[in-house]
């Protein structure tokens, strides 16, 4: 269903643009099943930046006024908002990783209740179908993700972290920020005290009668947690390159080197080698599904091929940090530059990578996109204050947005 190439992402974008205006706003909450056309299904491409948020929003605003496409643009900006929020609250990710590891160690992913939920045997018609769809296709509709998370937490009373882990292992668009923070939002941890309750009537209505789930929880009491530490500043990025031999390291968070170079001309000088590294298995102690691993590997190969058709280095899987250090030493590099890695598994890998490169006298630098640098500082409080910044953010980036009526 999803071909892991930029060409396929661009084709899907072209196909969807005419439907991104008022039709999207009216119909986006309906889940008609796997052959849906009312939403873009662009998320696997955007998540790896095979196609960038900027390209998606620009294409849509060339065809529609901002007021007609407001809903769609806002949805894309939810992704940016979540990433900016997590960047300033990395403790949330650290706790989530620790909780998942501890729950698995304690056998919580080995109970009959957990096994029934992930293999479609709960007896709740909708849940069972969605678990199957997720595992088979690597995608679920947004409304369905909300219902699924709500039933997991409040009806099945399973730990939210293991539900997020199940999604993360199977979603082609699995993303540290969007996934973890959306699950927290349903559980009442993100907007403290405000939960999302899935109801049978809402599910029947928005699935056009495909499902009539029975026995759903009738209340959704918010979960609680230890208070979070104060927000931390967004890490600054150093762009000074040391030495003459520069290597670029692509990774699964950003595979659009051409447009990154357009924003950072210093990436052009002195580049002698390009490599790509990914580790889909790092999503969870239980790894990632076959289709996630295949999509990530395919996306990486496509990104590397577009960046440097003659490049030979493609580093996947086991201990990618060690493999990258070896590559940098073999290429005799002075500096390795990566697209900026936001909070998540790639950023976790960078700690080992930075130390390994430092030992070899090689510097590590990151290039962050203006899209992120401009928007993230506004992701301090809720989405609603963030949303008011959208017209200004678009204009700062030179994206023409006619206001419309």
Ligand X SMILES: Cc1cc2nc3c(=O)[nH]c(=O)nc-3n(C[C@H](O)[C@H](O)[C@H](O)COP(=O)(O)OP(=O)(O)OC[C@H]3O[C@@H](n4cnc5c(N)ncnc54)[C@H](O)[C@@H]3O)c2cc1C
Closest contact distance (angstroms) between CB of 57 and ligand X is 10
The answer to whether residue 83 forms part of the interface with ligand X (CB under 6 A) is no
Which of 87, 116, 128, 173 contacts ligand X by CB under 6 A? 173
The answer to whether residue 149 forms part of the interface with ligand X (CB under 6 A) is yes
- Residue holding tokens 């190439």? 5
Q: What's the per-residue H, E or C state across 211-269?
A: CCCCCCCCCCCCCCCCCCCCCCCCCCCCCCCCCCCEEEEEECCECCHHHHHHHCHHHCC
Which of 21, 84, 174, 344 contacts ligand X by CB under 6 A? 174
Residue placing its CB nearer to ligand X in the complex, 188 or 356: 188
Residue placing its CB nearer to ligand X in the complex, 171 or 267: 171
The answer to whether residue 175 forms part of the interface with ligand X (CB under 6 A) is yes
Cβ-Cβ contacts under 8 Å for 363 (sequence gap 6 or more): 241, 242, 243, 334, 335, 336, 357
Pairing of strands 313-316, 335-339: unpaired
Quick note: the x/- pattern for ligand X over 35-64, rule CB under 6 A, is ----xxxxx--xx-----------------
The answer to whether residue 296 forms part of the interface with ligand X (CB under 6 A) is no
Closest contact distance (angstroms) between CB of 24 and ligand X is 7
The answer to whether residue 86 forms part of the interface with ligand X (CB under 6 A) is no
Contact 2, 172 (CB under 8 A): yes
Residue 332, token pair as written in the block: 């005799």
Q: Residue 277 is inside which H or E element, if any? A: strand 271-278
Stretch that binds ligand X, among 129-137, 142-150, 300-308, 389-397 (CB under 6 A): 142-150
Residue placing its CB nearer to ligand X in the complex, 46 or 248: 46
Give me the helices (H) in 236-389, please: 257-263, 290-307, 320-330, 345-359, 370-375, 383-387
Residue placing its CB nearer to ligand X in the complex, 39 or 375: 39
DSSP of 152-210, one letter per residue? IIIIS---HHHHHHHHHHH-TT--HHHHHHHHHHHHTTTTTT------HHHHHHHTTTS
Query: What gap in Å lies between CA 124 and CA 325, rounded to an integer?
Result: 49
Stretch that binds ligand X, among 103-111, 169-177, 221-229, 233-241 (CB under 6 A): 169-177
Closest contact distance (angstroms) between CB of 114 and ligand X is 17
Which of 155, 161, 178, 289 contacts ligand X by CB under 6 A? 178
Cα dist. 158→54, 76, 116, 365, 394 in Å?
Answer: 37, 30, 11, 41, 41
Residue placing its CB nearer to ligand X in the complex, 294 or 314: 294
Chain-centroid distance, C-alpha 183: 13
Number of H helices, E strands in the chain: 19, 5
The answer to whether residue 28 forms part of the interface with ligand X (CB under 6 A) is yes
Which of 82, 130, 154, 295 contacts ligand X by CB under 6 A? 82
Residues 326-355 that bind ligand X (CB under 6 A): none
Residue placing its CB nearer to ligand X in the complex, 196 or 266: 196
Give the residue among 8, 34, 7, 30 at the shortest CA–CA distance from 19: 30
The answer to whether residue 88 forms part of the interface with ligand X (CB under 6 A) is no
Residue placing its CB nearer to ligand X in the complex, 284 or 335: 284
The answer to whether residue 151 forms part of the interface with ligand X (CB under 6 A) is no
Query: What gap in Å lies between CA 80 and CA 343, rounded to an integer?
Result: 13
Residue placing its CB nearer to ligand X in the complex, 131 or 267: 131
Residue 123, token pair as written in the block: 């007896």
Closest contact distance (angstroms) between CB of 173 and ligand X is 4
Stretch that binds ligand X, among 88-96, 137-145, 246-254, 353-361 (CB under 6 A): 137-145
Query: What gap in Å lies between CA 221 and CA 219, rounded to an integer?
Result: 6
The answer to whether residue 182 forms part of the interface with ligand X (CB under 6 A) is yes
Residue placing its CB nearer to ligand X in the complex, 247 or 345: 345
- The residues binding ligand X (CB under 6 A) are 28, 39-43, 46-47, 75-76, 78-79, 82, 141-142, 145-146, 149, 167, 171, 173-175, 178-179, 182-183, 186
């Amino acid at each position: 269903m999803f071909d892991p190439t930029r060409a396929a992402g661009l084709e899907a974008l072209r196909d969807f643009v005419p439907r991104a205006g008022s039709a999207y706003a009216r119909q986006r909450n309906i889940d008609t099943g796997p052959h849906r056309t009312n939403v873009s299904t662009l998320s696997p491409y955007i998540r790896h930046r095979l196609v960038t948020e900027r390209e998606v929003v620009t294409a849509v605003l060339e065809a529609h006024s901002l007021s007609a496409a407001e809903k769609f643009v806002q949805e894309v900006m939810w992704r940016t908002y979540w990433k900016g929020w997590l960047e300033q609250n990395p403790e949330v990710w650290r706790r989530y990783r620790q909780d998942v590891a501890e729950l698995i160690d304690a056998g919580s992913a080995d109970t009959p209740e957990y096994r029934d939920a992930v293999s479609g045997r709960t007896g709740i018609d909708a849940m069972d179908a969605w678990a199957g769809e997720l595992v088979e296709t690597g995608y679920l509709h947004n409304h369905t993700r909300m219902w699924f998370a709500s039933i997991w937490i409040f009806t099945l009373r399973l730990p939210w972290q293991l539900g997020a882990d199940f999604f993360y292992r199977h979603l082609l668009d699995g993303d540290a920020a969007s996934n973890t923070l959306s699950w927290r939002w349903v559980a009442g941890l993100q907007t403290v005290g405000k939960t999302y309750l899935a109801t049978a009537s809402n599910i029947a209505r928005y699935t056009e009668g495909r499902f009539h789930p029975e026995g759903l929880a009738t209340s959704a009491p918010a979960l609680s947690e230890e208070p979070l530490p104060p927000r931390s500043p967004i890490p600054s990025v150093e762009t000074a390159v040391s030495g003459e031999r520069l290597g670029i390291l692509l990774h699964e968070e950003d595979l659009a080197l051409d447009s990154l170079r357009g924003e950072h001309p210093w990436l052009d000088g002195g580049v002698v080698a390009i490599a790509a590294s990914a580790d889909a298995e790092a999503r969870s102690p239980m790894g990632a599904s076959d289709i996630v691993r295949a999509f990530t590997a395919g996306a990486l190969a496509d990104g590397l091929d577009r960046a440097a058709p003659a490049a030979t280095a493609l580093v996947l899987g086991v201990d990618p940090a060690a493999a990258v250090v070896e590559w940098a030493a073999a290429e005799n590099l002075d500096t390795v530059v990566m697209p900026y890695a936001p909070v998540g598994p790639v950023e976790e890998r960078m700690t080992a990578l930075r130390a390994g490169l430092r030992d070899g006298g090689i510097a590590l630098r990151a290039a962050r996109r203006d899209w992120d640098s401009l928007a993230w500082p506004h992701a301090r409080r809720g989405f609603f204050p963030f949303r008011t910044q959208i017209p200004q953010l678009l204009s700062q980036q030179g994206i023409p947005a006619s206001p419309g009526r």
